[in-house]
Amino acid sequence: MHDPDIPQPDLPAWRQVLMADTWFAQCPAELRDALWRLARVQRLGHGEALFERGQAAEGLACVLEGALRIGAVQGDGRATLLAFVEPGQWFGEISLIDGRPRTHDAVADGPTVLLHVPQAALQAWLAEHPAHWQAIAQLACGKLRMLFGVLEDIAQLPLEARLAKRLWLEAHGWARRSGPPRTLLRLPQEQLALMLGVSRQSANKALRALASRGLLSLRYGSIELNDLAALAQAARATDAAA
């Protein structure tokens, strides 16, 4: 690595974080080694922006510790939250592929550590190893498939089912994380409401409905998932069933 301030004991742990992501784990070893070799470690304080909408692309990145809120502030002052990016999750591949500016803001939620692979260095390496562009495309396509699923859910599922599905996906790292699912989500209700595009009151009502069925417990600033199987079943509910 290139940051002399990186504490060496953290490096093996960070490699474990990276390998827990199914996309990274399935990448060819040559690409994994290049990403690790070219990367810099970047640290952000709570509320510090990694980038803002419209800024030039700066490469591929992965959260190692902490989290990032991906969203934007609209012209009328309303905030939107599209994703909560946590350790092991990669992002930035869209701007890497098309070279266009960032589409949203990325802001640290608490102290956050990132692995950042600079745009120019990665593009130069990929120019010499063009076969590995396929893996970058697979990262983008995986997210595109998830987006199609989210759009379908908005059209077909009632809020309670959409909420159950979102929590189940968050627990499983959007099906990208290997290993056991997380049962404690550090996800404040206000942020969850923004992710679902509903009011905080509506999100709270749906959460309490799921809690009354024993599927989850509400904690301060977090949600404890008590029954992932039942949560998955609740996520399959439809308007007709409701």
pLDDT tens-digit series, residues 28-79:
999 999 999 999 999 999 999 999 888 998 899 999 999 898 887 766 666 6
Q: Going edge to edge, which strands form the sheet with 79-85?
A: 49-51, 105-108, 68-73, 79-85
Establish if 153 belongs to a structural domain.
Answer: no
Spatial CB neighbours of 94, under 8 Å, sequence gap ≥ 6:
100, 103, 140
Establish if 151 belongs to a structural domain.
Answer: no
Give bridge partners of residue 62 from the DSSP assignment.
90, 115
- Residues 67, 136, single domain; the answer is yes
Domain count across the chain? 2
Q: Is the pLDDT of residue 9 over 60?
A: no
- Residues 90, 170, single domain; the answer is no
| Contact between residue 58 and residue 122 where contact means Cβ atoms under 8 Å apart | no
- Residues 33, 121, single domain; the answer is yes
- Residues 220, 117, single domain; the answer is no
Q: Choose the final residue of a domain: 121, 145, 169.
A: 145
Q: Kindly report the CATH number assigned to the domain that includes residue 77.
A: 2.60.120.10
Establish if 188 belongs to a structural domain.
Answer: yes
- Residues 108, 209, single domain; the answer is no
Neighbours of 36 (CB within 10 A): 16
pLDDT tens-digit series, residues 183-227:
888 878 888 888 888 888 999 999 999 999 999 999 888 899 999
- Residues 63, 166, single domain; the answer is no
- Residues 19, 132, single domain; the answer is yes
Establish if 240 belongs to a structural domain.
Answer: no
- Residues 130, 206, single domain; the answer is no
- Residues 18, 110, single domain; the answer is yes
pLDDT tens-digit series, residues 69-121:
888 776 666 667 778 888 899 999 999 999 899 888 999 989 999 999 999 99
pLDDT of residue 240: 39
Q: Kindly report the CATH number assigned to the domain that includes residue 184.
A: 1.10.10.10
- Say which amino acid occupies 36: W
Spatial CB neighbours of 233, under 8 Å, sequence gap ≥ 6:
none
- Residues 76, 191, single domain; the answer is no
pTM for the structure as a whole: 0.76
Establish if 152 belongs to a structural domain.
Answer: no
Q: Choose the final residue of a domain: 91, 112, 145.
A: 145
Q: Choose the final residue of a domain: 122, 145, 168.
A: 145
Which residue range(s) make up the domain with 100?
10-145
